[in-house]
Homo-oligomer: A and B are copies of this chain.
Amino acid sequence: MNGARAVLNTLVHGGIDVCFTNPGTSEMHLIAGMVSTPEIRGILCLFEGVATGAADGYGRMAGKPASTLLHMGPGLGNGLANLHNARRAGTPLINMVGDHATYHKPFDAPLDSDIESMAGTVSAWVRRTGSSADAGQDAADAVRAARTPVGHLPGGVATLVLPSDVCWSEGGVAVPVPAAQAPSFDEVAVERIAKTLRENEGCLLLIGGGNMRRAGLAAASRIAAATGVDVLAEKSPARHERGAGLPRFDRLPYPRDLAVRRLAGARHLILAGTREPVSFFAYPGKPSTLIPSGCEVHDLGAASGALEYLADLVAPGTAPLVTDEHRPALPSGELTAEKAAAVIGALLPEGAVVVDEAMTSDQWLPSATAGAPLHDWLNITGGSIGMGMPVATGAAVACPDRPVLNLEADGSAMYTLQSLWTQSREGLDVTTVVFNNASYAILDSELRRVGAFEGEDVRRSRSLIDIPGLDFVALAKGMDVPATRARTTEEFTRQLRAAAAEPGPHLIDAVVPPVTGGS
């Protein structure tokens, strides 16, 4: 078999069954191989940022890697922003990048560029395959690398650079891929933390990563009930299982000053599946760390089972405290982000996957949906906007039987809007709500803070922040996705119900006044 087939067959051995592609000429042998490898579903994306974000969403929900196929350096460039989010989420992901033939590389042809330097900025592992004979083993190593924990994160981006002659040359061999092994934890370290918890006041347990699902949440709740420890969740979990029947914890606030206030008084910070909290941005005269001075940090590690073992040590026989089902009443009148959150909380279907890139419009969502039926909530992990629509696309591929609700800000929606085309082509059950406030509202307060403008400068400042004139109904129709506009709460309620009742993608352009954001 040729190198391309050796790679694809090895991925199949490793359980990879999806490839989000945006290929070019140098990837045609991989595409030809994919066409005749029915075990891998090739899904065409019209922009590489859609492909990489979809692979991130798929990996978060499927718990195994998806693959991508990108066209050389510029194609990788277009995919970097969402690979950055995948890196911060710890999503396992096989990122395949085609390149010129090995012998063509020295000629510096127009599309040539330094792929490895680019890939290194987002990848846990980067390799360029040198010959078709190595292709299978390199693919197997990529799968292993993608599943290898990186610090507190469960996996990472493994970038495999595949020159075209490696793909078209015979001599490839498909290679078996060993099953992933769950990392173990250090029992003695956990016992030491149990002692800290028992013996000290001012303990705060900060949970994140894999502990944001049922088992971890239950353990944290038991620990809190037995010891009185203050429990907080990280700011942006990659995947948060929540709703009625699960314990509920607040998340660390995004605005730096609020986060500092929330952590004030902690003398022992116990990290469970997350890293030391830092301010998202720097601000003049304010420290970057959020940890109070003198607070001791204890790291439980990210290995599955560590938090449960801690619960068994300090809270044997204690049951977790779970949220009852409760939903907000349906509001009425002119639509606002706050009222939209109530409607979403009132209607959220059981088993929904919510992808949240609502930015300034999202502040009412956590409490409005806290008592909705069980659902998953996926967040923007690396701060790079344009993740919502692609992640929703990949989550829908991973979970064909679950409804996906994508809550988008208008500014963020415009980065990777091409996702809608893939949602339509693949018939994915994604409902996108665009909070259309016609501005980069999150930058509004920031700009006001640093500039006090008068006269003509006021107009100039608005022209760098406002984004009027976006008609998301027309944009969605342009990609064959049915869409409606809601200006009142009643319209929004009716449209959200209709979208939920019908399979396939829908978009609601929710016209709301801007909310002045934190930063």
Contact indicator A478/B474 (Cβ below 8 Å): yes
Q: CA separation between A49 and B81, bound complex, in Å?
A: 12
Residues from chain B with a CB closer than 8 A to the CB of A386 are 47, 78
User: Does residue A492 face the partner (Cβ distance < 8 Å to B)?
Assistant: no
Nearest-neighbour CB distance to chain B for A265, whole angstroms, equals: 22
> Closest chain B residue to A466 by CB distance?
B44
Give which listed residue, B26, B236, B284, contacts A168 with CB less than 8 A. Answer: B284
**A28 adjacent to B282 (CB under 8 Å):** no
Chain A residues 425 to 461 lying within 8 A of chain B, measured CB to CB, are: 425, 442-443, 446-447, 449-451, 453, 456-457, 460-461
A23-43 contacts to B, CB under 8 A, are 23-26, 28-29, 31-32, 34-36, 38, 42
- A305 to B38 alpha-carbon distance, docked (Å): 60
Q: How many copies of this protein are present in the complex?
A: 2
Shortest Cβ distance from residue A50 to the other chain B in the assembled complex, whole angstroms? 10
Q: Mark A57-93, 1 if CB is under 8 A from B, else 0.
A: 0000000000000000111011011001100100000
Q: How far is the CA of A73 from the CA of B104 in the complex (A)?
A: 30
* Segment 80-123 of A: residues with Cβ below 8 Å from B: 80-81, 84-85, 88, 100-101, 103-104, 107-111, 113-114, 117-118, 120-122
Given contacts A107-B278, A279-B109, contact A460 B35 (CB under 8 A): yes
Which of A154-162, A340-348, A376-384 makes up part of the contact surface?
A376-384
Closest 9 CB pairs of A and B: A77-B80, A32-B451, A475-B478, A74-B384, A101-B282, A104-B282, A474-B478, A74-B81, A111-B383
B281:A164 contact, CB within 8 angstroms: yes
CA distance A21 to B447 in the complex (A): 14
Q: Is the CB of B103 within 8 A of A282?
A: yes
- The complex places the Cα of A118 from the Cα of B384 at a distance, in Å, of 15
Say yes or no: A44 contacts B464, CB within 8 Å: yes
Interchain nearest-CB distance for A280 vs B (Å): 6
User: Is the CB–CB distance between B32 and A450 below 8 Å?
Assistant: yes
Which residues in A have some Cβ–Cβ distance to B below 8 Å?
Answer: 21, 23-26, 28-29, 31-32, 34-36, 38, 42, 44, 46-47, 49, 73-75, 77-78, 80-81, 84-85, 88, 100-101, 103-104, 107-111, 113-114, 117-118, 120-122, 164-165, 168, 236, 278-282, 284, 288-289, 381-384, 386, 411, 414-415, 417-418, 421, 424-425, 442-443, 446-447, 449-451, 453, 456-457, 460-461, 463-465, 467, 469-480, 519
B42 touches A463 (CB 8 A): yes
Selected contact of A46 from candidates B24, B114, B467, B473, CB within 8 Å: B467
Assess the B282–A100 pair: CB atoms within 8 A.
Answer: yes
Compute how far the CA of A414 lies from the CA of B165 in the bound complex, rounded to whole angstroms: 29
B residues near A111, Cβ cutoff 8 Å: 280-281, 382-384
Q: Which residues of B contact A80 (CB under 8 A)?
A: 73-74, 77-78, 80, 118
A110 and B280 contact, CB distance less than 8 A: yes
Given A114-B121, A451-B32; A470-B421 close (CB under 8 Å): yes
Residues A415 and B278 in contact, CB atoms below 8 Å apart: no
**Smallest distance from the beta carbon of A72 to chain B beta carbons, Å?**
8
Contact for A471 among B35, B117, B478, CB less than 8 A: B478
Q: Determine the distance from Cα of A103 to Cα of B287 in the docked complex, in whole angstroms.
A: 9
Tell me the bound Cα distance from A80 to B471 in angstroms.
Answer: 28
**Cβ-defined contact, A282 with B164, below 8 A:** yes
A88 with B74: CB separation less than 8 A: no
Question: Cβ of A464: which chain B residues have Cβ within 8 Å of it?
Answer: 21, 23, 31, 34-35, 42, 44
Q: Which residues of B contact A280 (CB under 8 A)?
A: 109-111
In the complex, chain B residues whose CB is within 8 Å of the CB of A469? 421, 424-425, 479-480
